[in-house]
């Protein structure tokens, strides 16, 4: 096999593989010192070159192969750290024997949110009913939160995930208006699922021959929502609104940003997310 494309970024390599596959061209990819290399059979060399060139002409916003994505994100394990924070918070509440008080005071109450206590849409994300409730959300955050941050960067990723949780709780409050209260990070977890689904949709939709398949991630996200988000004690509406918020934010991200934000922006968005959490709890405790 011949090396046909060299030193590609991970996103470029994924795109090239999809284009070659959709054209019926066999290939092999490998990780090189400076990026990804794609190899094709000798007989397919010219066809592969022409196929990619044609794709680049039809997609002018695609990054050329000789362009380096300076801010490309790598794998992160911040989802594990956030899961650990949820665990510590739950243990602290359990030890204090104030679980019911925390739920009533800081849970996502539709009535109180619509009467000005907007901070509840944030504080409720960190409160869990029991160990099983906590464990499920810790696992979801560790998996889907980490996946989002691998794509968007840790700062932008957690800002978007927190935003989906807040928006999901606010929309849920508007739906119920009164007589409803919910807690847990699951709204944000399904927001992360929505972001991932939207990202995969836009990634595949612009590829030739992949537009029908582009709908599969959205369908998979809805299936996951139905399977995991509709248990006996689950708040399906909040989960659905979180998922929808993730789709919307993921769509904006996919359309507006062609590559992950620089480190400065990652830090900035992360600080905004932390500030929202701190201010919300301070407001809830009566310090703001």
- Whole-model pTM: value is 0.72
Rounded to whole angstroms, the Cα distance separating 70 from 85 reads 31
Rounded to whole angstroms, the Cα distance separating 13 from 154 reads 22
The tens digit of pLDDT for each residue in 210-227 reads 666 666 767 777 776 766
Residues counted in the chain: 288
Lowest mean pLDDT among 73-82, 101-110, 115-124, 166-175: 73-82
H-helix or E-strand spanning residue 234:
none
In sequence order, which residues have a C-beta less than 8 Å from that of residue 155 and are 6 or more positions away? 261, 265, 266, 267, 268, 269, 270, 271, 273
Contact between residue 190 and residue 227 where contact means Cβ atoms under 8 Å apart:
no
> How confident is the model at residue 212, as a pLDDT?
62
Specify the higher pLDDT residue, 205 or 20: 20
Domains in the chain: ranges and CATH: 2-58 (3.30.70.1530), 78-285 (1.20.1540.10)
């Amino acid at each position: 096999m011949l090396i046909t494309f060299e030193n590609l970024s991970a996103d470029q390599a994924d795109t090239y593989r999809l284009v070659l596959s959709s054209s019926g061209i066999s290939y092999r990819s490998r990780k090189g010192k400076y990026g990804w290399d794609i190899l094709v059979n000798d007989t397919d060399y010219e066809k592969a070159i022409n196929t990619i060139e044609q794709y680049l002409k039809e997609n002018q916003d695609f990054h050329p192969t000789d362009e380096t994505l300076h801010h490309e994100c790598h794998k992160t394990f911040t989802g594990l750290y956030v899961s650990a924070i949820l665990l510590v918070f739950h243990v602290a509440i359990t030890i204090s024997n104030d679980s019911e008080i925390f739920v009533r005071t800081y849970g996502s109450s539709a009535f109180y949110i619509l009467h000005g206590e907007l901070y509840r849409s944030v504080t409720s994300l960190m409160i869990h009913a029991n160990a099983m409730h906590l464990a499920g959300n810790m696992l979801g955050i560790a998996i889907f939160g980490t996946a989002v941050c691998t794509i968007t960067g840790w700062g932008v990723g957690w800002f978007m995930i927190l935003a989906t949780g807040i928006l999901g709780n606010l929309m849920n409050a508007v739906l119920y208006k009164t007589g409803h209260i919910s807690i847990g990070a699951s709204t944000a977890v399904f927001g992360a699922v929505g972001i991932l689904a939207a990202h995969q949709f836009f990634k595949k939709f612009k590829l030739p021959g992949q537009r029908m398949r582009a709908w599969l991630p959205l369908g998979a996200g809805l299936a996951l929502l139905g399977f995991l988000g509709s248990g006996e004690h689950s708040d399906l509406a909040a989960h659905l609104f979180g998922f929808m918020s993730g789709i919307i934010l993921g769509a904006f991200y996919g359309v507006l940003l062609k590559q992950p934000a620089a480190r400065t922006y990652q830090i900035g968005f992360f600080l905004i997310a932390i500030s929202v959490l701190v201010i919300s709890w301070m407001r809830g405790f009566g310090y703001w």
